[in-house]
């Protein structure tokens, strides 16, 4: 039974409700003032309580799109997958489309929920007019040079992509990455990026753009912090070189860095800014929502920085600004005055920015480290990106 399947949640709810009914029904049988009965009452309440908490945690996991399967949970044995997934001659396409459906149309009802895992979108069917609704595709992107695989990800193609007037247009691209832990589905359902983008594109406030939505950790549950791990998986190269190259070959998008932006929240925010600063030959703008600007230390991932302080420094946007040339990119950093611990680091990073790099901030008065906050910030962020990408 899948961790994010509706069945599991229903079974858990049934078990919790059943346990409550059973206690109410068996109540009189445990009513003697004897230690054994007292212990039995306590045990009954404890079992029922654990079932209720299980329901809560299962719901929480699927609401926030943290983990897709049992094996991904921390402590599961599948933690160390090999970095190389594909060794044989690579002739196959780098982008595999597993499903496709019309994109969100403004004014229509919300997108129906969609579980993570390959094949959950309907396979490409005779589709109704993508020229009006665009298309949301579920894809897996394979890295030609790093051998990594993106896991289930999504590509949103705006309606214009299918319109004759745009048949020769190469579209700008935004690469959106999740936080850690996080599945790409979180960007669709919780952040609601395709919906917000569709609305903004329809009203002309955002230029037609292709959005590529991926988890920040292709080797999930390993937390690789979008880093070329020394002697390990080359995740920075995957996200910043392999993915753009594969997307360029598959979709009608621009190859110029001027048309490529990155966006992310939490760990994804750190990654968006870090990758833009390390690869300005790929990205010209980045949005970091509640991100951080120093590589994490004391991390559970062994060898993330290869045991080298210098390598950790290189992977810290703040350090890069102090010790390397400022790259020709624009960044928008967001945080909130109350409710998010990212504020001091964000303001400190902002102060370090100098030409030719450009810094922008969006600081809201109140908002925690959650999708509701980021969803509120998304409209100005997408508009900002649209102004910077050509």
Partner 1 sequence: MGLRGTPLLVLLAVAAVGLLAGTLWLWPVLARRGAAVIALRIGLLVALQASVLGVVFVSVNRTYGFYASWSDLLGTDHMVAQVVAARPSVTRAAASDLASPLVSLASSPVVVPGARRGQGGRLEEVRFTGPVSGIAVTGHVYLPPGYSPASRPLPVIVVISRQAGSGAASYGAQRVAAVAAAQIRAGRMSPAIVAVLSPAVAGRADQGCLDSPGGPQAGTFFSQDLPQTLTLAYHAATGPSGWAVLGGAGGGYCALQLATAPSGQFGVAAAAPGTYMLPPGRGETGGSPGLRSQDSLLWRLRHWPPPPVRILFAGPGQARHFISLVRPPMTVATIGPAAGPLPLAPVLDWIGHALAGRP
Residues in 360-379 at the binding interface with partner 1, rule: CB under 8 A: 360-370, 372-373, 376-377, 379
Contact status: 242 vs partner 1 (CB under 8 A)? yes
Q: Is 234 in the site for partner 1 (CB under 8 A)?
A: yes
- Residue 42 interacting with partner 1 (CB under 8 A): yes
Contact region with partner 1 (CB under 8 A), list: 169-177, 189-197, 292-300, 359-367:
359-367
Number of residues that bind partner 1 (CB under 8 A): 103
Strand-pair category, 260-265 with 135-141: unpaired
Question: Contacting partner 1 (CB under 8 A), which of 97, 255, 301, 343?
Answer: 255
Written as six digits, the tokens of 261 are 């932006």
Contacts to partner 1 from residues 310-349, by CB under 8 A: 310-311, 313-314, 323-328, 332, 336, 338-341
* Dist CA 55 CA 229 (whole Å): 37
Cα dihedral 208→210→213→216 (10° resolution): -100
Interface pick for partner 1 out of 191, 240, 263, 273 (rule CB under 8 A): 240
Task: For the chain, give the number of residues.
Answer: 390
In the bound state with partner 1, the residue whose beta carbon lies nearer, of 225 and 377, is: 377
Q: Binding pattern to partner 1, positions 268-307, x when CB under 8 A? A: ---------xxxxx---------------------x-xxx
> How far, in Å, CA of 272 to CA of 291, rounded?
9
Q: Find the shortest distance in angstroms from Cβ 181 to partner 1.
A: 11
Is there binding between residue 32 and partner 1 (CB under 8 A)? yes
Nearest one of 384, 369, 375 to 331, comparing CA atoms: 384
Structure tokens at 302: 């062994």
Under rule CB under 8 A, which residues in 46-65 are in contact with partner 1? 48-49, 52-53, 56, 60, 64
- The C-alpha angle 4, 247, 78, rounded to 5 degrees, equals 35
Task: State how beta strands 153-157 and 135-141 pair.
Answer: antiparallel
CA–CA–CA angle 322, 328, 329 (5° rounding): 95
- Among 147, 158, 183, 293, the residue binding partner 1 under the rule CB under 8 A is 147
List the one residue from 43, 90, 92, 167 that touches partner 1 (CB under 8 A). Answer: 90
Question: Nearest approach, Cβ of 307 to partner 1 (angstroms)?
Answer: 5
**DSSP-based three-state secondary structure for 81:** coil
C-alpha distances in Å from residue 317, one per residue of 114, 177, 229, 297: 35, 17, 17, 14
Of these, 1, 7, 24, 107, which contacts partner 1 (CB under 8 A)? 24
- CA–CA separation, 265 vs 337, rounded Å? 17
Closer to partner 1 by Cβ: residue 49 or 390: 49
Other Cβ atoms less than 10 A from the Cβ of 241: the count is 19
Looking only at residues 178 through 207 of this chain, which bind partner 1 when binding is defined by CB under 8 A?
none
């Amino acid at each position: 039974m899948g961790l994010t399947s509706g069945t599991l949640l229903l079974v858990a709810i049934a078990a919790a409700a059943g346990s409550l009914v059973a206690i109410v029904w068996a109540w009189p049988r445990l009513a003697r003032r004897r230690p054994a009965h007292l212990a039995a009452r306590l045990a009954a309440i404890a079992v029922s309580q654990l079932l209720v908490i299980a329901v809560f945690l299962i719901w929480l996991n699927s609401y926030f799109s943290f983990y897709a399967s049992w094996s991904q949970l921390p402590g599961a044995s599948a933690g160390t997958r090999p970095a190389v997934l594909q060794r044989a001659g690579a002739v196959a396409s780098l982008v595999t489309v597993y499903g496709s459906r019309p994109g969100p149309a403004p004014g229509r009802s919300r997108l129906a929920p969609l579980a993570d895992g390959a094949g959950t979108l309907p396979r490409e069917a005779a589709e109704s007019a993508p020229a009006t609704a665009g298309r949301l595709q579920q894809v897996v992107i394979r890295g030609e040079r790093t051998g990594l695989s993106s896991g289930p990800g999504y590509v949103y193609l705006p309606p214009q992509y299918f319109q004759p007037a745009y048949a020769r247009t190469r579209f700008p691209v935004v690469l959106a990455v999740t936080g850690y832990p996080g599945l790409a589905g979180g960007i669709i359902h919780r952040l609601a990026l395709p919906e917000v983008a569709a609305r903004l594109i329809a009203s002309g406030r955002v230029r037609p753009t292709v959005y590529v939505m991926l988890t920040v950790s292709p080797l999930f549950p390993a937390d690789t912090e979008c880093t070329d791990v020394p002697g390990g998986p080359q995740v920075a190269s995957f996200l910043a070189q392999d993915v753009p190259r594969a997307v360029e070959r598959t979709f009608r998008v621009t190859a110029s860095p001027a048309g490529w932006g990155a966006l992310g929240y939490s760990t994804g925010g750190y990654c968006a800014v870090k990758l833009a600063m390390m690869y300005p030959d790929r990205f010209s703008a980045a949005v970091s929502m509640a991100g951080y600007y120093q590589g994490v230390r004391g991390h559970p991932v062994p060898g993330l920085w290869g045991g080298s302080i210098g390598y950790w420094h290189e992977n810290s946007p703040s350090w890069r600004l102090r010790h390397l040339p400022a790259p020709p990119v624009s960044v928008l950093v967001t945080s909130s005055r109350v409710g998010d611990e990212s504020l001091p680091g964000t303001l400190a990073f902002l102060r370090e920015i100098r030409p030719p790099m450009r810094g922008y901030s969006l600081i809201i008065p109140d908002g925690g480290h959650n999708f509701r906050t980021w969803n509120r910030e998304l409209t100005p962020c997408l508009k900002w990106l649209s102004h910077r990408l050509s």
